[in-house]
Structure 1
Amino acid sequence: MDALKLRASSVALIGDIVDSRTAPDRQALHDRLEHVLDETNARVLAQDPATITLGDEFQGVYSTLGDALAASFRIRAGLHPMADVRFGLGRGAVSTLDPRRGIHDGPAYWAARDAIETAKERAGQAQSRTSRTAYVSPEDEPGHVAAVQAALDCLDYMVGSLSTTSRRILGGLMEGDTQQDIARREGVSPSAVSQRMRRDGIGVALGAMTTLAGLP
């Protein structure tokens, strides 16, 4: 019972690599995932840092939905273009079943599991094939959950529609790089980066990520 009360309301994040079995080098993908999770844990405050749990699946626990989403944004950007990622987020209580091994359970995980299954199911439908992120929360008002999900659907569509170059530009901006830094790295002019940002809606996507990362 004490473990259940330890985190009365947290946000669990469950992620898995999309089509990981088709990866040409699964060891390299695993190593890259470990590196990206380490970098994300260094930048996003977590109650339980994101760690690989089994094969291509990982999970973490955060105090706020915004922190959990910020972690998902960084993980997805860090793995591109090697792999894409699917995320399920759920709000609720978290219990510790085995402190020594770091095994957790509880409503937040159950909601996150339902969410990732929803994201997977929606990605299999033509009208929502870009879906990568879903949020489930019995604790929030249904209208709030629906609004968050609508924003995530739009963001998934925008990011999923970007070219590899535009995804790299977005990733650089997420890391705080200037347009000049990105231009030098891409071998183009700063004006070319600026034009691509306007044309592809990169600034809009970045703004949406910033707003969502601030959610309680």
Structure 2
Amino acid sequence: MSGQSVAVIVDIVGSRTMVDRPVVQAGIQGAFAEVDELIAVGSPIRATVGDEFQAVYPSVGIALEATLAARLALPEGVDCRFGLGLGEVNEVGAGASGPIQDGSGWWRAREAIDEAHDREDSRTPSLRGWFRAGPGDEALEATVNAYLLARDHVVGAMSERARRLTFGTMSGRVQSELAEIEGISQGAVSQALRRSGGMNLLAAVAQLKELS
């Protein structure tokens, strides 16, 4: 995997049925700006065309951390789908909003988001992300996708408060601070993080950050 990056394509779930897309777009971009501040490596998550966004991360583990943070940070009632592709990411020119990139990482990210969409529509409706790697990385691909299947099920079942608390914990806020923000007790914060699976999500992504 030497010299490879993880390209990420993001799209908005149900964007065509949203009543006020400009408001939704602004909310998503605000959430992704928080993620970019938290995960300050690689290329920031930037809007491209239509309902899509793109980012690049230096490793699989960091890409998984960033995409988890992105789902947790989204505004209430908004969700996104993620395609992650491991491979080459090459600059081929300059565009108005930044460098134009191509390479196997982007091709695989497109395959991955299409697969996520297909699976969401059929066997696994809670799925929001998929990962593609190249020849020789089949075991890594299977491991990451098993994680994404479990992760997305947990996140999909979380309340909006549980998502906020989990993202707040990822961002380094202590439970007493989160309790004050939410207007609840510190014990209620701890209980919510345990019952929702938020602490398990954070423990899992901490392990997966070791993936190079």
- Shorter-chain TM-score above 0.5: yes
Q: Tell me how far 1:100 sits from its aligned partner.
A: 4.5
Which of the residues 167, 189, 203 maps onto 2:199?
203
- Among candidates 140, 148, 166, match of residue 144 of structure 2: 148
Contact 2:38 2:171 in 1 (8 A): no
CA contact (8 A) 1:91 1:139 kept: no
176, 184, 204: which one aligns with 2:180 = 184
SS in 1 for 2:78: coil
Q: Show the 5 A alignment for 1:25-174.
A: 25-101=20-96, 102-125=99-122, 127-174=123-170
AA at the equivalent of 2:116: A
SS where residue 54 of structure 1 aligns? coil
Amino acid at match of 1:77: L
Matched residue type, 2:8: L
- Is 1:45–1:62's contact at 8 Å kept on the other side of the alignment? no
Q: RMSD of aligned C-alpha atoms?
A: 1.8
Determine what percentage of the aligned residue pairs are the same residue.
Answer: 36
Q: Which letter maps to 1:112?
A: A
Contact 1:52 1:58 in 2 (8 A): yes
1:16 counterpart residue number: 11
Distance in 2, matches of 1:139 and 1:64, equals 17
The match for 1:4 is none
Kept in 1, the 8 Å contact 2:61–2:205? The answer is no
**Would you say how many aligned residue pairs link Structure 1 and Structure 2?**
209
User: Gaps (5+ residues) in structure 1?
Assistant: 1-6
Q: 1:199 to 1:71 in 2, by over 3 A?
A: closer
- SS where residue 154 of structure 1 aligns? helix
Q: Secondary structure at the match of 2:19?
A: coil
**What is the alpha-carbon distance in structure 2 between the residues aligned to residue 80 and residue 170 of structure 1?**
14
Tell whether the 8 Å contact from 1:45 to 1:67 is kept in structure 2 after alignment. no
Is the CA contact (8 Å cut-off) linking 2:10 and 2:54 kept in structure 1?
Answer: yes
User: How far off is 1:117 after superposition?
Assistant: 0.5
- Listed one character per residue, the Cα deviations across residues 139-197 of structure 1 (whole Å, up to 9, x for unaligned) are 55212210111011101111111112211211211111111112112221111222222
Normalising by structure 1, we get a TM-score of 0.89
Cα offset for 1:91?
A: 0.8
Q: Could you say if the C-alpha distance between residues 200 and 210 of structure 1 is closer, same or farther in structure 2, counting changes exceeding 3 Å?
A: same
Segments of structure 2 that go 5 or more residues without pairing to the other structure are: none
Name the CA shift for 1:205/1:175 in 2 (closer, same or farther; >3 Å).
same
CA distances 1:13-49 after superposition (whole Å, capped 9, x unpaired): 1101111122232111111222233332233244432
Distance 2:147 2:47 in 1: 27
Instruction: Tell me how far 1:8 sits from its aligned partner.
Output: 4.1
Structure-2-length-normalised TM-score: 0.90
* C-alpha distance after superposition, 1:89-142 (max 9, x if no partner): 0011122221354111111000000000011111112x4111011000015521
Residue identity in the other structure for 1:119: A
